[in-house]
Amino acid sequence: MKSYLAAAVQMTSKPNLHRNLAEAEELIELAVRQGAELIGLPENFAFLGKESEKVAQAEEIASKTDKFLKTMAQKYQVHLLGGGYPVPVEDDRTKAYNTAILIDPNGRELTSYQKVHLFDVDVPDGNTYCESNTVMAGQQLPTVYDSPNLGNLGLSICYDVRFPEFYRHLSKEGANILFIPAAFTAFTGKDHWQVLVQARAIENTCYVIAPAQTGNHYERRYTHGHAMIVDPWGSILADAGTAPGVAVAEINLGRLSQVRQQMPSLQHRVF
């Protein structure tokens, strides 16, 4: 399998669906111009605003985002991850699933995942987050999509990164590339984001593609940035810093095989 370039997109999404999708296309095009064949968008790329506004607009967001992702994948002939956007719950209009989907260059949905770990946390900076107020937790672990050209792709979303057993499941199912699209808070991100992303790569000897949100979105909602791509040894191959942009790096499955031979920890699991 040949090497290829992947991109982790970094955005400052706002409470404005149309603005966000326009920004996302600009960054997808930027990644394509740099040669990326696999592109990931961050969590909340289509809308990042108050939870009440998100739920009220969830039907429109879901419909237009789904169409957007399929159109972009076809237009630019790439595999595209929509890293998390609200999809209404049929029997509970007060909640939506935080959903990630992977689209192929024909505009076909390959796999999807509904976020299972919800961010209900009182952050020491004074902000309180209660994702479960408006998000319905998914009930199933994601399946691994086996791409003949890209590798075995495992999906996750943001807060999942704090649960190593989740990624052990993905690696056990054959994943060698992990997506971790996020909207990590600025306060927790400065201490935890990089080390958690690297840990998930190292312990599973996988590439990690981690798109991210950055900057101020509304009121006191700030995110950390630093979208990155990490190799199976834990080396950071690309880091987008703190401005909107893209982190682009080579995915080399030969390198992955080499690391797994040098450090065969997945074969040594006892439990």
Per-residue pLDDT tens over the stretch 103-118: 999 999 999 999 999 9
Task: Specify the pLDDT at position 99.
Answer: 98
Pairing of strands 228-230, 236-239: antiparallel
The CATH H-level (homologous superfamily) assignment of domain 4-268 is Carbon-nitrogen hydrolase (3.60.110.10)
Residue 131 has pLDDT above 90, yes or no: yes
Domain ranges of the chain: 4-268
Task: Specify the pLDDT at position 196.
Answer: 98
Residue 264 has pLDDT above 80, yes or no: yes
Task: Specify the pLDDT at position 35.
Answer: 98
Alpha helices in 92-247 (DSSP H): 164-172, 186-204
Task: Specify the pLDDT at position 141.
Answer: 95
> Contact 160/199 with Cβ under 8 angstroms?
no
Task: Specify the pLDDT at position 54.
Answer: 92
Rounded to 10 deg, the angle between the 58-76 and 17-33 helix axes is 20
> Contact 100/124 with Cβ under 8 angstroms?
no
Task: Specify the pLDDT at position 67.
Answer: 98
Residue 125: band (very low, low, confident or very high) from pLDDT cuts 50, 70, 90: confident
pLDDT tens digits for range 219-257: 889 999 999 999 999 999 999 999 999 999 999 999 999
Task: Specify the pLDDT at position 92.
Answer: 87
Task: Specify the pLDDT at position 100.
Answer: 98
- pTM to 2 decimal places: 0.97
Q: Chain-wide mean pLDDT for the chain? A: 96
Task: Specify the pLDDT at position 204.
Answer: 97
pLDDT tens digits for range 64-101: 999 999 999 999 999 999 999 999 998 888 999 999 99
Task: Specify the pLDDT at position 184.
Answer: 97
Catalytic positions: 43, 115, 158
Residue 1 has pLDDT above 80, yes or no: no
CB burial string 59-77: b at 16+ within 10 A, e below: eebbebbbebbbebbbebe
* Ramachandran sector of residue 112 (left: φ over 0; alpha: ψ -120 to 50; beta: rest): beta
Task: Specify the pLDDT at position 190.
Answer: 97
Task: Specify the pLDDT at position 186.
Answer: 96
Say what percent of the chain tops pLDDT 70. 100
